[in-house]
């Protein structure tokens, strides 16, 4: 009988492989179709040449990079313990899939502008949203799968996997400091704690309705937070589909800074600098991109997004840096 662990492994690997290869094929097919529009429509040589090149590229990176890395990590499990703070799988997706897709998306707009002789009147009303949504959704799905690997089918963490929110080094140091504060003798070196079992939180309410409504599972939170985390980038990329954006040079900074914001997906949630990277790669650059878009093209990007970027950046700088300055050091007299 096939074990559930094997089924989960096969399903996860097939989903990741599809998310790694399908977006590139779809976006390059769109580019080939746009390029064919500049030639004789009865002759499909250019179209099939672009499609065949995309298939060859996906096959090459899959057989040369993706499959060997996957097999290496599966056969040499000790290598996964040595890689801390970043995900090789997400690095491969961001570099080998997302980057070419963004590049071909920009190329499609350039081809369409060349066909229309740089006249925005003959440009399409909007760019198709399916390709952009497919690229970002595939990247988010791979991120979700990598976070779900530590859970068994029943929801308990697999033995040997340490939850992202558990930081053994910080806990060991805090325990040692407490022991040293009580005793003058040095505290013994603590061993790494065993993984904390994270299961569905059972509510204590006696009401059956409240018990059902109060159930919480970390796996559901992973899906929720993964999409919420990248909503700002998704909205920014969608702005590139506006004719005033892809018909002008604004399409380049929109795609470039959107791609840079995705680089932090390579880092694991337990990395301390992840919050700073979110400000540096997403919120702070998006302030200037959105201000420029609003000043040049009007409110084609939501003002709420600009307010979010300003508030998140300002609060991060204030609470982490400015509040520690002497000018902001005040004696708290409020009892609350």
Q: Is 161 left (phi over 0), alpha (psi -120 to 50) or beta?
A: beta
Q: Which of 91, 96, 128, 90 is nearest to 23 (CA)?
A: 96
- B/e letters for 102-132, b = 16+ CB within 10 Å, e = fewer, are bebbbbbbebbbeeeeeeeeebeeebeeebb
Handedness of CA 311, 315, 321, 325 (dihedral sign): positive
What is the reported pLDDT for 168?
A: 42
**More reliable by pLDDT, 331 or 172:** 331
**What are the tens digits of pLDDT across the range 192-226?**
444 444 444 555 666 777 777 777 778 888 888 88
Cα–Cα distance, 238 to 124 (Å, whole number): 15
In this model, does residue 24 exceed pLDDT 90? Answer: yes
- For the chain, what is the mean pLDDT? 79
Most confident of 61-65, 271-275, 296-300: 61-65
Q: Is the pLDDT of residue 38 over 60?
A: yes
Provide the pLDDT for residue 202.
Answer: 53
Residue 183 pLDDT more than 70? no
Per-residue pLDDT band at 249 (split at 50, 70, 90): confident
**Residues 254/289, Cβ–Cβ less than 8 Å:** yes
Reported as a pLDDT band with limits 50, 70 and 90, residue 170 is very low
Least confident of 32-41, 59-68, 158-167, 219-228: 158-167
Q: Are 27 and 138 in contact (CB under 8 A)?
A: no
Please tell me the predicted confidence (pLDDT) of residue 178.
47
Q: Which two tokens stand for residue 134?
A: 């497919």
What are the pLDDT digits (tens) for 54-79? 999 999 999 999 999 999 988 887 77
Distance CA(165)–CA(149), nearest Å, equals: 15
pLDDT of residue 63: 95
Residue 8 has pLDDT above 60, yes or no: yes
């Amino acid at each position: 009988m096939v074990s559930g662990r094997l089924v989960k492994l096969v399903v996860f690997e097939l989903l990741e492989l599809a998310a790694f290869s399908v977006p590139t094929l779809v976006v390059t097919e769109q580019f080939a179709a746009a390029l064919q529009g500049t030639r004789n429509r009865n002759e499909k040589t250019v179209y099939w040449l672009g499609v065949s090149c995309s298939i060859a590229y996906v096959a090459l990176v899959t057989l040369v990079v993706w499959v060997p890395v996957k097999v290496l990590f599966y056969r040499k499990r000790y290598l996964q313990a040595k890689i801390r703070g970043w995900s090789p799988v997400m690095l491969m997706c961001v570099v080998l899939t997302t980057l070419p897709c963004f590049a071909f998306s920009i190329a499609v707009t350039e081809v369409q502008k060349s066909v229309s002789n740089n006249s925005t009147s003959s440009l399409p009303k909007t760019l198709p949203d399916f390709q952009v949504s497919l690229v970002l959704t595939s990247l988010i799905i791979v991120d979700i799968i990598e976070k779900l690997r530590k859970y068994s089918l029943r929801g308990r963490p697999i033995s040997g996997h340490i939850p992202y929110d558990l930081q053994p080094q910080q806990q060991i140091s805090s325990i040692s400091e407490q022991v040293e504060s009580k005793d003058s003798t040095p505290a013994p070196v603590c061993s790494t704690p065993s993984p904390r079992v994270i299961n569905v939180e059972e509510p204590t309410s006696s009401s059956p309705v409240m018990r059902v409504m109060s159930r919480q599972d970390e796996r559901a939170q992973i899906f929720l937070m993964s999409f919420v985390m990248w909503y700002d980038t998704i909205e920014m990329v969608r702005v590139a589909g506006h004719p005033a954006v892809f018909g002008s040079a604004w399409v380049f900074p929109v795609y470039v800074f959107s791609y840079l914001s995705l680089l932090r997906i390579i880092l694991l949630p337990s990395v301390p600098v992840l919050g700073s990277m979110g400000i540096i790669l997403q919120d702070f650059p998006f302030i200037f991109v959105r201000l420029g878009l609003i000043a040049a093209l009007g409110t084609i990007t939501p003002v709420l997004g600009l307010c979010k970027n300003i508030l998140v950046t300002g609060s991060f700088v204030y609470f982490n840096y400015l509040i520690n300055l002497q000018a902001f050091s005040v004696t708290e007299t409020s009892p609350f």
